[in-house]
Structure 1
Amino acid sequence: MICYVYRSRRRADAYLYLPCQDDFSAVPDALMQMFGMAEFALEFELTPVRRLAQADAEQVLGNLREQGFHLQMPPANDRPF
C-alpha cells in the first residue's frame, strides 16, 4: 500500500499516515485541531515487513485499513500536546 506521511507543525516528531494523499476526511476534527497544520513529509510503499523508525508496519497498515489513518506520536517520555 502506498501511504502518505504528514508532520505536525505544532508538535515535533508527531506524524500522520494516510492511505490517500491530502485526504484527511477520516481523521477526527479534534485530532486535526491538536495536530495542527499538516505538512507533507513523504510517500512510500508500506508492506508488513517494512522497517519503520518508530512504528510497527503491521500496526500502521491495520490502522490505515480500519480507521483510515495512523497517528505516530513522539516517545512517551516527551511532553504531550
Structure 2
Amino acid sequence: MQTFIYKSLRKPDTYLYLRKRDDFAVLPEAVRAPLGDLVFVMELALTEERKLARADAAVVRLNLATHGFHLQFPPTVLDPMVDG
C-alpha cells in the first residue's frame, strides 16, 4: 500500500498519512483545520514488513484503508486513532 506523508506546520511532530496524494477531501474539517498548512514529506510503500519509527504500521494501514488517512501525533500526545 502506498502512502503519502505530510508534516503539519502548525502542530510540531504531527504527520498526516494519506492513501492518495493531496486527497485532503477525505479529512473532516475538524481534523483538517487544526493542522494548518501541510508540507509533503515523502511517499512510502507501507508493506507488512515495514517498520515505522513512531507508529504501528498495521494501525496506519488499517486507518488508511478505513478512513483514507492516518494522523501521527507527537509521542507525548494520546493518539485518538488507536483503540485504547
Both structures adopt the same fold (TM-score exceeding 0.5): yes
1:70 paired with 2:70, answer yes
CA offset digits 1:9-60 (Å, max 9, x no partner): 0011100000100001111111111111111000010012201010000000
Deviation at 1:76, TM superposition (A): 1.9
Gaps of 5+ in 2: 78-84
Equivalent residue, structure 2, for 1:34: 34
Secondary structure, aligned partner of 2:61: helix
CA–CA separation in structure 2 for the residues paired with 1:51 and 1:5 = 15
Distance 1:34 1:10 in 2: 7
Please give the alpha-carbon distance, in whole angstroms, between the structure 2 residues aligned to 1:11 and 1:41: 15
Instruction: Give 1:49's aligned residue.
Output: 49
Higher helix share: 2
How large is the Cα RMSD of the aligned pairs? 1.0
TM-score of the superposed pair, with normalisation by structure 1:
0.90
Could you tell me how far apart the structure 2 residues matched to 1:71 and 1:28 are? 12
Matched, 1:7 2:7: yes
